[in-house]
Structure formats: structure tokens, C-alpha cells
Amino acid sequence: MKLELRGITKRFGSLVANDHISLTVEPGQIHCLLGENGAGKSTLMNVLYGLYTADEGEVLLDDEVQHFSGPGDAMAAGIGMVHQHFMLIPVFTVAENVMLGHEQTGFAGRLDVAAARNHVREVSARFGFEIDPDAIVGDLPVGVQQRVEIIKALSRDAKVLVFDEPTAVLTPQETDELMGIMRQLRDEGTAIVFITHKLREVREVADKITVIRLGKVVGEANPESSNTEMAAMMVGRAVELTVKKGEPNLRSGGLVVNNLRVIDETGQTVISDVSFEVRPGEILAIAGVQGNGQTELTEAILGLQSKVTGTITLDGEDLLGKTVQGIIDAGVGFVPEDRKEDGLVGEFSVAENLILNRSTNGEPFFRMATLQRKALDTFAREQIVEFDIRTQGPETHAGRLSGGNQQKVVLSRELSRELKLFVASQPTRGIDVGSIEFVHERIVQTRDSGVPVIVVSTELDEVAALADRIAVMYRGGIVGIVPGNAPREVLGLMMAGEQPGTTTDAVTDKEVAS
């Protein structure tokens, strides 16, 4: 099925999110929609999917103008969408999620769950998904949940399939698997719209690339175009894709973790015998496939895990036993891996989010536990400028910002006070290339100011670019700690649980820290 968008314009008040956008997606083609977060890509696809009504323009399928009053109309016409934030009900089974909104009934009007189970098995076999139809969705890994979303779309006989930032929550391995699924769908004749800002992914799968900036189509790129050329089209300026940093200037003190052990709510040991140091003036990157204890490690440092043994000290001060607020007050800044769930309150304003980590007994924002609005407004406006937060003002709800700007709010809050330790977990997950450049610069500046920095990332390119040393985690333990310039192949083997070789193991954690 051929998809054509002609002159699509969508306004929200005075904001023009889409400005006369036109593009065509042919059957058996992966058409990549490339642009920064906030450029208007998702808005455009929500118009296509019937979630929004265009103020101007037309949607055509096989040269026939369509009029969608909601997603049901779009699905009936053969359009499917895999959202960045999955539209799944966690307590339902896979089969129940697939049939939701598309229910089949059998004898006496009873739901035909068996038919949904069979359909899940058929699609799973076709793509090698190996998904249990009776599995509870909330118990599945993120990558498997995304496959359930794909099965949902295909169950409606989708001929046009939209992937909206599909790799934002995936590990590198899951991303590679998704690329293979997209190619298979393309080869079967599906027209695919792939929304992303990741240049490597574009070069891997795109047949055609349309670049959107500030709601307008600014041109088409060739899959053979260089990363620098595509990044410049996205941002509207030259973008520095490499991280510039000098040698670390190590100082005394910092974070020392010894024999750390963490037991989760089910009684399972998720962190076992972990020890490392991070000195002021260096970046320790923690690498590994998602789910090998990185989340629990950062939560233990922040006081978010209840069953912890071992020691965690910062400049000689014991952090274990302190409350979360006590650890924050001790000078620990934290960027969580899920900014929407753990980093922001979407219904709060940008200004209010900027002081979430402040005690209510501290000036200038609180006086006798009363919020000082004028001081907050002045501070928020300064931070918006310093961190280039693109918002209509301090009172804008944080949930309305793009992913990159939400991340800048979190960074601004954490870096706008005096720190003794900075922990950034997946700091660039789901944000655009321009925001990535900004985040990396701020992390390096924090390191150069003499603050010990921990960066947790599943992106090996990011790890290699930022790290002075790299600790690789596997099944709740640290396989080894190697220099930041360790070969990618070595890191890959370590992520699979293999010990580092003698060449990269020559510089140990203790030697670097001494």
C-alpha cells in the first residue's frame, strides 16, 4: 500500500508543529523520518494515525484521500503504529493485549482468546519471536514487549507500519534484532515509516530519508550521506560528533564501594561482591547489557535499595543507612535511566521540577517551609538559558517538553548545586544528536571541575567516548575494569561474561586509583 502525505499542517495554539509537510512512502520501502526531538515527527505520525486532525493537508492511501476520526479508522485502513512508549496493559497476557480493541467472539458471545493465542503463535513463528501467548506482559523484557506491539499491528493486517523511535528503550542487541524484523517486513511489501534521530540506524536500514527541522521538511538525505552531513541537516548547524576531553586530573577522595551486595524484593541477589573506586576528576563508565545489575547498583548508591550490605563511602563519609534526601544533601547528583518515571513530575512546571531535590528548609527557594516564587522564577529562567531548555517558559508542564529538553531539565537540576559525586544513568537514551552533544559536554565539564562521575550506559559508542575507565557488569558482578580506550571487541566479550585479556587488564582499578 502506498502512503502519501500532502501539505500536512498541525497547529497547537500559536505553535506550528507541522508546517505543510509532504512525503511519499512506497510499498516495500523503509522511509526514515529523521529529526531532533521536538521537530514534529511524532505529531505528523499522530495525524496519520488519527490521534490528531490536521488543520490543513491530506492523507492518501493508494491515491485515495482518507478521513480518520480516530486510530480505529486508521487501523481499519491498514495503518499500524509501534509507539515509543508501549500501548500495552501490563497485567494482561500477550494474547489479551493483541486482541484488545479487536476482540473476536465465539459461542454465546464469549471472547475467543484461543484465536488470539493462535495468531500470536503464527506471527511469532514467522519472525522467530518465540513469545508465549499466555505470558503476562509486565513480566516480559522491554525488547519482547516491543515485539508484542508489532504483533498487535500485524494482527490488524497493517500494510503501512509506523515505528516511532522504536529503539529508544532497547539494548544494542535488541536494536539489531529489530532492524532485521524491519527488513523482513519491507521485503514482504510493507511500507514502513521509521522515526528516529540515531544516525547509525538510519544508515543501516533506510531506503529513503526525509529530514524535518522545526516542523518543516528541510531536505532529503542519502543513506550514504556522512553522519556529519545528516546531523547538520537535523540541527541546522555543524554538530561535533566526537567528545573532546583531556587527560583526567585525579584528586584525593571520591567514592569507594567495597563488597557491595544487594538483594531484591523477591530475595534474589542482584549485586554480588562489587568493589570499585571513582576519584574526583575522572569518569568511570559502567557498561553491560541492560539487566545485569546496573540499575540496582545506582539505586544502592542513592539509597533506593533496602537490602544492602558492604560499604559505600563518599570522601570518607558512609552513605549506607542514609535516607535518599540525606544522600542528595551529602552532594550526590543523580540522572535516572527513566526520566519520565523517576526524573520528572510531568504535571509539575519546569520551574518546580528544577527544585525537586532541594530540602524545604533551605533558602533561597524556601523560607520557613514556604516556597519563594520570585526566587524560583528567577532561578528557572537562568537555568533555561544556561541549559538551552526549549520551552515556552518556567510554568510550562515538564511533561509537554520533548525528550531532549526533559533531560536538560533533569541535568540542570542536578548540576546547579555543589556536588561531590555525579551519577548519570543512560544519560542520552531517547534524545536527539544535538542534545547528546550538549549532555556529553556537561558531563565532561563536571568531571573537569573535580567531581567524580559515574556514567551507566548500554551504548558502547558513548562509553568509549566519555570513559577514563570502564567497568563491565555481568549478572550482578563486575567482570573487570579496563582503560577507557579498551577495544570494542574486548568490551563485547566482557559483556558476555568473559574476563578481560592480559593486554587490557594491565591497568587495574587499584593502579589507576593509586
pLDDT digits (tens, 9 = 90+) for 171-204: 666 778 889 989 999 999 999 999 987 788 888 9
Query: Percent of the chain having pLDDT more than 70?
Result: 93
Which tops the pLDDT comparison, 436 or 4?
4
Output the CA–CA distances (angstroms, integers) from residue 160 to 14, 195, 207, in the order listed.
31, 13, 15
* Mean of pLDDT values over 94-109: 75
CA distance 179 to 472: 26
Give first-to-last CA distance, the chain, whole Å: 64
Considering the domain architecture, whether residues 215 and 301 belong to the same structural domain is answered as no
pLDDT digits (tens, 9 = 90+) for 23-58: 999 999 999 999 876 788 889 989 999 999 999 999
Selection from 127, 131, 146, 144 nearest residue 187 by Cα: 127
pLDDT classification of 135: cutoffs 50, 70, 90: very high
Does residue 345 surpass a pLDDT of 90? Answer: yes
Selection from 396, 359, 403 nearest residue 381 by Cα: 396
Selection from 106, 201, 103 nearest residue 152 by Cα: 103
Q: Is residue 395 included in any domain, yes or no?
A: no
Considering the domain architecture, whether residues 469 and 500 belong to the same structural domain is answered as yes
Domain termination site, one of 179, 209, 235: 235
CA distance 304 to 110: 45
Considering the domain architecture, whether residues 18 and 161 belong to the same structural domain is answered as yes
pLDDT at 501: 66
Q: Which helix (H) or strand (E) holds 55?
A: none
CA distance 240 to 433: 9
Determine how many CB atoms are found less than 10 A away from the CB of residue 90: 12
Q: Coil, strand, or helix at residue 483?
A: strand
SS (H, E, C) 412-445: HHHHCCCCCEEEEECCCCCCCHHHHHHHHHHHHH
Q: Coil, strand, or helix at residue 290?
A: coil
CATH of the domain at 254: 3.40.50.300
Task: Sort 331 into a burial class: Cβ within 10 Å, 0-12 / 13-18 / 19+.
Answer: middle
Considering the domain architecture, whether residues 320 and 457 belong to the same structural domain is answered as yes
pLDDT at 503: 38
Does residue 323 surpass a pLDDT of 80? Answer: yes
Tell me which amino acid residue 8 is: I
pLDDT classification of 106: cutoffs 50, 70, 90: low
Q: Is residue 339 included in any domain, yes or no?
A: no
For 83-123, give the DSSP string: -SS----TTSBHHHHHHTTS--B-GGG-B-HHHHHHHHHHH
pLDDT digits (tens, 9 = 90+) for 391-416: 889 999 999 887 788 999 999 999 99
Question: Per residue in 421-440, is it b (16+ CB within 10 Å) or e — as a string?
Answer: bbbbbbbbbbbbbbbbbbbb
Selection from 245, 241, 146 nearest residue 197 by Cα: 241
pTM for the whole thing?
0.68
pLDDT at 100: 83
Considering the domain architecture, whether residues 218 and 262 belong to the same structural domain is answered as no
Considering the domain architecture, whether residues 137 and 71 belong to the same structural domain is answered as yes
* Mean of pLDDT values over 8-16: 93
* Mean of pLDDT values over 63-89: 89
pLDDT at 172: 64
Cell of 97: 493485549
Considering the domain architecture, whether residues 230 and 277 belong to the same structural domain is answered as no
Q: Is residue 474 included in any domain, yes or no?
A: yes
Q: Which helix (H) or strand (E) holds 270?
A: strand 269-278
Does residue 513 surpass a pLDDT of 60? Answer: no
Considering the domain architecture, whether residues 203 and 302 belong to the same structural domain is answered as no
Q: Is residue 412 included in any domain, yes or no?
A: no
pLDDT at 44: 93
Considering the domain architecture, whether residues 271 and 205 belong to the same structural domain is answered as no
Considering the domain architecture, whether residues 134 and 216 belong to the same structural domain is answered as yes
Domain termination site, one of 215, 235, 255: 235
Domain termination site, one of 181, 215, 235: 235
Q: Is residue 222 included in any domain, yes or no?
A: yes
What's the domain count of the chain?
A: 2
pLDDT classification of 504: cutoffs 50, 70, 90: very low
Which tops the pLDDT comparison, 439 or 452?
452
Selection from 193, 259, 240, 234 nearest residue 48 by Cα: 193
Structural domain of residue 461, as residue ranges?
240-331+418-514
pLDDT classification of 255: cutoffs 50, 70, 90: very high
pLDDT digits (tens, 9 = 90+) for 444-490: 999 999 999 999 998 888 898 999 999 999 989 999 999 999 987 88
Output the CA–CA distances (angstroms, integers) from residue 317 to 253, 283, 328, in the order listed.
10, 20, 13
Does residue 508 surpass a pLDDT of 50? Answer: no
Q: Is residue 252 included in any domain, yes or no?
A: yes
Q: Which helix (H) or strand (E) holds 259?
A: strand 255-263
Considering the domain architecture, whether residues 58 and 72 belong to the same structural domain is answered as yes
Q: Average pLDDT, whole number, for the chain? A: 88
Output the CA–CA distances (angstroms, integers) from residue 93 to 139, 145, 149, in the order listed.
10, 11, 13
Considering the domain architecture, whether residues 175 and 245 belong to the same structural domain is answered as no
Which tops the pLDDT comparison, 500 or 246?
246
Integer-rounded Cα Rg, in Å, for the chain is 24
Determine which of 195-199, 239-243, 362-366 has the lowest per-residue pLDDT on average.
Answer: 239-243
Q: Is residue 376 included in any domain, yes or no?
A: no
Cell of 350: 519546569
Q: Is residue 467 included in any domain, yes or no?
A: yes
pLDDT classification of 154: cutoffs 50, 70, 90: confident
